[in-house]
């Protein structure tokens, strides 16, 4: 995973707005055990104004991985308000 993380990091240097690659970077960081970096990447995606990659589910998984079960539950519950078009009741970034 460390090599995949390095390759995805390089891809982000070249194509910083590539959403699927940003998603991969966050996942590789998570798989490599770098939860802080994975969370950072999950927080960037919603600011990219793309409903496809809200990062809600991955964020909850990362919170659970860090031992924050209560926070993960809250994040999963928040995901109930998100569908394929994005958040139903709030604008991005709120």
In a domain, 93, yes or no: no
**Is 15 inside any structural domain?**
yes
Q: Is residue 92 domain-resident?
A: no
Domain containing residue 53: 2-87
CATH classification at residue 58: 1.25.40.10
Q: How many domains does the chain have?
A: 1
| 28/1 Cα distance (integer angstroms) | 6
Confidence of residue 17 (pLDDT cuts 50, 70, 90): confident
* CB contact set of 10 (below 8 Å; sequence gap of 6+): none
- pLDDT confidence tier of residue 52, bands split at 50, 70 and 90: very low
Which two tokens mark 75?
């994040």
In a domain, 39, yes or no: yes
């Amino acid at each position: 995973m460390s090599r995949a993380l390095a390759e995805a990091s390089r891809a982000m240097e070249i194509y910083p707005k590539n959403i699927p690659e940003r998603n991969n970077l966050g996942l590789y960081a998570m798989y490599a055990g770098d939860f802080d970096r994975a969370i950072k990447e999950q927080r960037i995606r919603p600011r990219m104004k793309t409903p496809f990659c809200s990062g809600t589910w991955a964020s909850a998984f990362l919170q659970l991985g860090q031992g924050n079960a209560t926070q993960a539950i809250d994040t999963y519950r928040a995901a109930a308000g998100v569908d394929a078009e994005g958040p139903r009741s709030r604008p991005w970034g709120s």
